[in-house]
Structure 1
Amino acid sequence: MSQAPHSGPTRAIDRYFASYSADHRHPLNQRIHVVAVPAILWSVVALVWCVPVFGTWTRTGIWAALAMFAAWSFYNRLSRRLGLGMLALFFFCGCVCRLIEMRLGPGVLLAAAAAVFVFAWVAQFVGHHYEGRRPSFLTDLVYLLIGPAWVMAKCYRRLGWRY
């Protein structure tokens, strides 16, 4: 019994990346995404970091830790190697949030996160203007999670690592 010829990527992560890459072919858009996507990721972590614990005004980063764990679980299911890279990135994001909160205060963290979030999204839409295509997440919200993994995979490829 013969098998059908292989017609495309078999791993879910490869299918996501193929679809995401189709919307990100312009070199300027790719360069913008390599900077703006991690900036958005950090800003979202920082914004969630600033949400106080119920019944108090204490900000411990617990909500950000839970959100990062949920996102990491998604990445780790798609690719363990990519999951490790995303875990390191989440750890770095958490450390930066804690450092800014300790040294400059939660108000500065909140303001910086909001500014980075707005600036990075504007940059993303400028990139998509040059691309001539809509952002992938307008098709499926899962691409909001695929973007950071796509950038991480680009870094892996540049380093000669498999994901």
Structure 2
Amino acid sequence: MTNLERLLSQYAAYHLDRNNIVTHFVGIPLIVFSILCLSARAAVDISGFSVTLAIILIVLSSVYYLSLDKLFGILMLILFVLVYPLAIKIAALSMWSWLGASIGIFLVGWVFQFIGHYFEKKKPAFVDDLIGLAIGPLFVLAEFVFLLGFRKSLHQRILKEAQMKRAEMDMKPQIVS
């Protein structure tokens, strides 16, 4: 099993309900976009080029995603490049407009996430493993690729492993306070 398969199947074990996955198609992109908006305002000029914290986050996350899977990494980088100009426009707003828009988008994204987990009847993956915060965007991209009918064998391996992990999770006694 590749590292990609291990990480996606671990994340998928918390996301087997179709309604939950659909809410994540909205929630996760909103959260990621809001983080780009928030971080696009922090910048330093280097030789006349503005290097924002958002660019640094894009580069670091793209390198990480590329290390897991070349196709998914390239697709994620393309998506980041497409939304970055809008994040810059939001970051250029007045202080309160920028903060209001960015935090508002962030909160709406999380509302979608928690609605999805209501359907799933499981806590979000990041509660047990913080790497879930980085894998969530990749999971949504992968699910979209799978929905289009591509990489079926990868999808099947991830789904099979996720179902086994979920069965193990369901067998563990729940601690009720």
Aligned position for 2:35:
44
2: CA distance, partners of 1:100 / 1:44: 11
Alpha-carbon separation, structure 1, partners of 2:118 and 2:57: 30
* Distance in 2 of aligned mates of 1:117 and 1:44: 7
Residue 61 of structure 2 aligns with an amino acid whose one-letter code is A
Q: Determine if the alignment matches structure 1 residue 122 to structure 2 residue 85.
A: no
Q: Deviations over 1:120-139 (max 9, x none)?
A: 11221121122111110111
TM-score scaled by length of structure 2: 0.75
Note if 1:155 corresponds to 2:144: yes
What are the Cα deviations for residues 103-153 of structure 1, in whole angstroms up to 9, with x where unaligned?
xx2533332111010111122112112211111011111110111001111
**Structure whose residues are more often strand by fraction:** 2
Counterpart contact for 1:100–1:109, Cα < 8 Å: yes
Identity percentage over the alignment?
30
> Could you tell me which amino acid in structure 2 is paired with residue 111 of structure 1?
G
Higher relative contact order, structure no. (Cα contacts within 8 Å, ≥ 6 residues apart) = 2
Instruction: Summarize the alignment of residues 9-158 of structure 1 with structure 2, pairs less than 5 Å apart.
Output: 10-51=1-42, 53=44, 60=50, 62-101=52-91, 105-107=93-95, 108-158=97-147
Hey, what does 1:5 align to over in structure 2?
A: none
Output the TM-score relative to the length of structure 1.
0.81
1:7 corresponds to = none
Q: Distance in 1 between matches of 2:56 and 2:43?
A: 13
